[in-house]
Amino acid sequence: MKIIHTADLHFDSKLETNLDALKAKDRKKELLATFERMVEYAKANGVSTIIIAGDMFDKSRISTKTKEFVLNCIALNPSIDFLYVSGNHDEDIFIESIETLPKNLYIFDERWKTINYKECDITGINYNDSSEKYLYDTLFLNKEKINIVIMHGPLGSRGSGINVNNLKGKGISYLALGHIHKFQKGSIDNDGYFVYPGCPEGRGFDEIGPKGFVLINIENNKLDSEFIPFAKRELHEVVIDITGIDSWIDVRKNVSLKTNSIPDKDMVKVRLIGNYDINLVKQIELLNEYLNEHYFFAKVVDESKIAINAKDYENDISLKGEFIRNVLQSNDLTPDEKNEIIEYGIKALMKEEI
């Protein structure tokens, strides 16, 4: 028996934190297309069940078009069971607005419910503040079978999350979780482990790295699982230390070297760090433009600071020297504020665009 474990699809997210309206619209479509590709993968690879461990949607932002697309994907694949627990971003409006659920869509509620298969039992619950009170005391599993348990929430203790310690000895082989947007795996006890599959597609630069789903295989009364990278686009963060670099051409060369292995279909965030020489003329907009010509989307975040040695300007009689001394001697400014003022002041003195 093969099972796909996915979670945190977040359909109809705004996606406009980084992207413009047009690219955000395209990216929304790609999130849905990835779900459709995942279902096609399931059909092609003999997967009989898809577990969706919460946050299929993004709160009340559920368009009719998206809802119908998801339901059609499910209804048109009757050979695959879709098992769905809600997450903290899901709302009941999705379920309440459906007159007739597809027969192969199984929705869990606030009490444990088990679906029996020949190879395993799959048990799930909609985890929330009210269900947390009786959660662990009411979970009873057939320990003679392989048991998969589905929940959505962070790991924690004492009412602040799913307490793995309270699940020890319950007979769980695989705890299918949702909520964390990065693949994560850990032990429950000697019998089983928990897995967050992460989100299928990264939506922002807080979700960098490979994204996909987990493929579970049960054979000869044994359960194995593996992470399958599946995202259409991966998000990358590249850090460039510009300390000691004398020219902007060399900065761009360093950026090119660190990004040349990234596929042009992906999304890239370049962070500039370090302490740069006062005479280095930065061209952030040109670098941003250069990167966006090569990738689906790119952004440059400049966190670098001017390297200032106060002694170098003690006897400098130029306007620049006088300006820097006055800023450095101020008692009303923080070091970061001084650095920022000096940077803008130097740009003004050099007649650069601020």
Distance CA 186, CA 167 (A): 13
Of 52-66, 123-137, 208-222, highest mean pLDDT? 208-222
Helices marked H in the chain? 21-44, 64-75, 93-96, 248-259, 284-292, 319-329, 335-349
**91 token code pair:** 């709302």
Q: How many helices (H) and strands (E) does the chain have?
A: 7, 17
Task: Output the pLDDT for position 345.
Answer: 80
* pLDDT tops 70 at residue 20: yes
pLDDT in tens, 272-295: 999 988 888 889 999 999 999 999
Pair type for strands 222-229 and 212-219: antiparallel
Domains annotated for the chain, with CATH where assigned, are 2-229 (3.60.21.10), 236-349 (no CATH)
Distance CA 226, CA 320 (A): 60
Distance CA 258, CA 87 (A): 37
Task: Output the pLDDT for position 60.
Answer: 60
Task: Output the pLDDT for position 350.
Answer: 63
**235 token code pair:** 């998000």
Task: Output the pLDDT for position 228.
Answer: 98
Which of left, alpha, beta for 335 (phi over 0: left; psi -120 to 50: alpha)? alpha
Task: Output the pLDDT for position 344.
Answer: 78
Q: 3: which residues sit within 8 A by CB, 6+ positions away?
A: 47, 48, 49, 50, 51, 148, 215, 216, 217, 218
Mean pLDDT computed over 306-316 = 71
Residues written for the chain: 354
Q: 183: which residues sit within 8 A by CB, 6+ positions away?
A: 195, 196, 197, 198, 210, 212, 214, 227
Of 57-61, 231-235, 324-328, highest mean pLDDT? 231-235
Task: Output the pLDDT for position 307.
Answer: 81
Mean pLDDT computed over 96-104 = 77
Task: Output the pLDDT for position 348.
Answer: 77
pLDDT band of 343, cuts 50, 70, 90: confident
Mean pLDDT computed over 231-249 = 95
Distance CA 219, CA 224 (A): 8
Task: Output the pLDDT for position 90.
Answer: 58
The residue among 305 and 7 whose pLDDT is bigger is 7
Pair type for strands 146-152 and 305-306: unpaired
In whole angstroms, what separates CA 134 from the centre of its chain?
Answer: 31
Task: Output the pLDDT for position 88.
Answer: 65
Is the sign of the CA dihedral 27, 33, 38, 41 positive or negative?
negative
In whole angstroms, what separates CA 198 from the centre of its chain?
Answer: 7
Task: Output the pLDDT for position 322.
Answer: 83
pLDDT band of 79, cuts 50, 70, 90: very high
Beta bridge partners of 236: 268
Of 133-142, 220-229, 316-325, highest mean pLDDT? 220-229
* pLDDT tops 60 at residue 141: yes
Task: Output the pLDDT for position 132.
Answer: 73
* pLDDT tops 90 at residue 243: yes
The residue among 82 and 348 whose pLDDT is bigger is 82
**336 token code pair:** 């970061």
Task: Output the pLDDT for position 353.
Answer: 62
Q: 2: which residues sit within 8 A by CB, 6+ positions away?
A: 42, 45, 46, 47, 48, 49, 215, 216, 217, 218
Q: Quote the mean pLDDT of the chain.
A: 90
Which residue's entry shows tokens 């850990």?
186
* pLDDT tops 80 at residue 104: yes
Percent of the chain with pLDDT over 70: 91
Mean pLDDT computed over 308-334 = 78
The residue among 27 and 307 whose pLDDT is bigger is 27
pLDDT band of 314, cuts 50, 70, 90: low
Q: Report how far apart the first and last C-alpha atoms of the chain are (Å, whole number).
A: 61
Determine which of 82-96, 243-257, 320-334 has the lowest per-residue pLDDT on average.
Answer: 82-96
